[in-house]
């Protein structure tokens, strides 16, 4: 092996931000109108509603024959899951506040479960080119798995509506007995209503866990391609880039004036010039500048290849970087997501759900028992 080849291999192995653009990647062609067209083809249709975007994606995916739509399945679902998590956590905390003293322990477990889902279960995202999906025979598997995901999602939505409906019932019933959002004095049938609320909330939590497990199963099926030696694995490179972009985003959030006054570049005249500038920023470790530019481009070309203001800026930059680095070549993939084992996360969530189920059953058994005791309606005994 020559000295030049050895240096090139070392650069590829390190995958640090300083090495972006080094070695063979230095010869990547500059963006062109052709590349902009490729980005446009791979960019999901802009939609403010994450669930509507997912449904639209499924419709397109079922007609996909070349993989151009399938490659974005993981990005679209990841955005949808983040949206679901936010609403799920809000609903959980809202419902938990309407549980009385006897069921406060169950409410705490529900909140813990929602927090664990939010903090641990970041949906991993798979970057892959369309040709690799086709050549590895993954397109049909992906379509089937997506339909399975949709079944879980439909059930989740049905259970969410059932929970919201019962919570509204509880709010109307307990409105006169609340203090600071916590029920301390309820009507006679309040505990029965609260137990029903617990049951519906448990079913909702369990269904979200099934949805996450189904997505992990899909990731596992597609990630099997990593065992093929002829494929180039960019997982570490993109994971490092994502981490540093997240850090830059946090720094900007802490000091917004830094973003506003750091650069006074002229407005871009074309999408190609904008993409080239962003790629240069990513390769030169000017990540704050890249984030500034993606925001500027979304103002200039809203809902275009740079996404909309509601889209994750880091995700869009990763998409652009990956598509450009793999331009003109196939056999490349990258898995970017949670550092924790997906199996470990699912196991922890399942254990917590089982604890909640057992607590609800004990509360129901206690309810049945006290119903047959004298003066049970005024008993001061609690769980």
Cβ atoms of 120 and 88 closer than 8 Å: no
Cβ atoms of 48 and 310 closer than 8 Å: yes
pLDDT greater at residue 376 or residue 92? 92
Using the Cα atoms of residue 347, residue 349, residue 350 and residue 355 in order, give the sign of their dihedral: positive
Residue 239 inside a domain? The answer is yes
Considering the domain architecture, whether residues 158 and 214 belong to the same structural domain is answered as yes
Cβ atoms of 135 and 333 closer than 8 Å: no
Cβ atoms of 224 and 3 closer than 8 Å: no
Write down the mean pLDDT value for the chain. 75
* pTM greater than the 0.85 cutoff: no
Q: How many domains does the chain have?
A: 2
pLDDT attached to residue 21 = 39
CA–CA separation, 128 and 74 (whole Å): 10
The predicted-structure confidence for 244-284, as pLDDT tens digits, reads as follows: 999 999 888 887 665 555 555 557 888 888 888 899 999 99
CB atoms within 10 A of CB 225: 21
Considering the domain architecture, whether residues 196 and 93 belong to the same structural domain is answered as yes
pLDDT attached to residue 319 = 87
Would you say residue 144 has pLDDT above 90? yes
Considering the domain architecture, whether residues 259 and 193 belong to the same structural domain is answered as no
In the structure, what pLDDT confidence band is assigned to residue 37 with cuts at 50, 70 and 90? Answer: low
CA–CA separation, 217 and 56 (whole Å): 22
Last residue of a domain, one of 306, 330, 354: 330
Range ranked top by mean pLDDT from 7-11, 69-73, 94-98, 257-261: 69-73
Mention every residue, 6+ apart, whose C-beta is less than 8 A from residue 67: 129, 130, 131, 133, 134, 139
Residue 345 inside a domain? The answer is yes
Considering the domain architecture, whether residues 53 and 191 belong to the same structural domain is answered as yes
In the structure, what pLDDT confidence band is assigned to residue 148 with cuts at 50, 70 and 90? Answer: very high
Q: Which residue has the tokens 């249709």?
A: 45
In the structure, what pLDDT confidence band is assigned to residue 146 with cuts at 50, 70 and 90? Answer: very high
List the beta bridge partners of residue 335: 126
Considering the domain architecture, whether residues 289 and 213 belong to the same structural domain is answered as no
Of 6, 367, 8, whose CA–CA distance to 190 is shortest? 367
pLDDT greater at residue 164 or residue 41? 164
Considering the domain architecture, whether residues 272 and 363 belong to the same structural domain is answered as no
Residue 3 inside a domain? The answer is no
pLDDT greater at residue 251 or residue 113? 251
Would you say residue 204 has pLDDT above 70? yes
Considering the domain architecture, whether residues 173 and 68 belong to the same structural domain is answered as yes
Residue 112 inside a domain? The answer is yes
Q: Which residue has the tokens 């946090």?
A: 250
Structural domain that includes position 142: 49-177+185-230+337-367
pLDDT attached to residue 181 = 46
Pull the structure tokens for residue 261. Answer: 């006054």
How long is the chain? 383
Q: pLDDT > 70: what percent of the chain?
A: 71
Considering the domain architecture, whether residues 193 and 251 belong to the same structural domain is answered as no
Considering the domain architecture, whether residues 118 and 253 belong to the same structural domain is answered as no
Residue 115 inside a domain? The answer is yes
Residue 383 inside a domain? The answer is no
The predicted-structure confidence for 150-179, as pLDDT tens digits, reads as follows: 999 999 999 999 999 988 888 887 654 444
List the beta bridge partners of residue 127: 334
Considering the domain architecture, whether residues 224 and 296 belong to the same structural domain is answered as no
Q: What is the 3-state secondary structure (H, E, C) of the chain?
A: CCHHHHHHHHHHHHCCHHHCCCHHHHHCCCCCHHHHHHHHHHCCCCCCCHHHHHHHHHHHHHCCCCCCCHHHHHHHHHHHHHHHHHHHHHHHHHHHCCCCHHHHHHHHHHHHHHHHHHHHCCCCEEEECHHHHHHCCCHHHHHHHHHHHHHHHHHHHHHHHHHHHHHHHHHHHHHHHEECCEECCCCCCHHHHHHHHHHHHHHHHHHHHHHHHHHHHHHHHHHHHHHCCCCEECHHHHHHHHHHHHHHHHHHHHCHHHHHHHCCCCCCCCHHHHHHHHHHHHHCCCHHHHHHHHHHHHHHCCCECCECCCCCHHHHHHHHHHHHHCCCCCCEEEEECCCCCHHHHHHHHHHHHHHHHHHHHHHHHHHHHHHCCCCHHHCCCCC
Pull the structure tokens for residue 359. Answer: 């607590």
In the structure, what pLDDT confidence band is assigned to residue 8 with cuts at 50, 70 and 90? Answer: very low
Residue 25 inside a domain? The answer is no
Considering the domain architecture, whether residues 221 and 242 belong to the same structural domain is answered as no
Considering the domain architecture, whether residues 308 and 347 belong to the same structural domain is answered as no
Residue 282 inside a domain? The answer is yes
Kindly calculate the radius of gyration of the chain based on its CA atoms and give it in whole angstroms.
25
Last residue of a domain, one of 330, 346, 378: 330
Last residue of a domain, one of 285, 307, 330: 330
Pull the structure tokens for residue 240. Answer: 């490092």
């Amino acid at each position: 092996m020559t000295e030049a080849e050895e240096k090139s291999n070392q650069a590829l192995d390190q995958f640090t931000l300083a090495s972006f653009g080094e070695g063979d990647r230095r010869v990547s062609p500059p963006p062109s109108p052709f590349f902009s067209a490729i980005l446009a083809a791979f960019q999901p249709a802009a939609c403010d509603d994450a669930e509507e975007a997912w449904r639209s994606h499924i419709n397109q995916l079922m007609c996909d024959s070349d993989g151009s739509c399938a490659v974005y399945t993981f990005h679209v679902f990841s955005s949808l899951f983040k949206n679901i998590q936010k609403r799920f956590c809000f609903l959980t905390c809202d419902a938990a506040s309407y549980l009385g003293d006897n069921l406060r322990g169950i409410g705490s477990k529900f909140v813990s479960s929602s927090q664990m889902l939010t903090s641990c279960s970041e949906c991993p995202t798979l970057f892959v080119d369309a040709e690799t999906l086709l050549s590895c025979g993954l397109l049909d598997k992906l379509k089937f798995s997506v339909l399975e995901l949709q079944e879980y999602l439909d059930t989740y939505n049905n259970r969410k509506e059932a929970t919201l409906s019962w919570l509204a019932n509880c709010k109307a019933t307990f409105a006169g007995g609340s203090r600071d959002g916590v029920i301390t004095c309820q009507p006679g049938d309040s505990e029965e209503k609260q137990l029903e609320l617990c049951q519906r909330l448990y079913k909702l939590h369990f269904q979200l866990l099934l949805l996450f497990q189904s997505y992990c199963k899909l990731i596992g099926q597609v990630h099997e391609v990593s065992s093929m030696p002829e494929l180039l694995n960019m997982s570490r490179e993109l994971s490092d880039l994502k981490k540093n972009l997240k850090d830059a985003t946090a720094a900007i959030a802490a000091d917004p004036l830094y973003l506003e006054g750091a650069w006074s570049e002229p407005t871009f005249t074309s999408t190609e010039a904008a993409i080239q500038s962003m790629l240069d920023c990513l390769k030169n470790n000017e990540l704050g500048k890249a984030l500034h530019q993606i925001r500027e481009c979304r103002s200039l070309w809203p809902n275009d290849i740079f996404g909309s203001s509601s889209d994750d800026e880091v995700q869009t930059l990763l998409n652009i970087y990956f598509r450009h680095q793999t331009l003109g070549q196939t056999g490349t993939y990258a898995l970017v997501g949670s550092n924790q084992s997906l199996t470990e996360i699912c196991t922890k969530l399942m254990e917590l759900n089982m604890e909640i189920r057992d607590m609800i059953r004990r509360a129901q058994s206690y309810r049945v028992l006290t119903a047959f005791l004298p003066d049970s309606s005024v008993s001061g005994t609690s769980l």
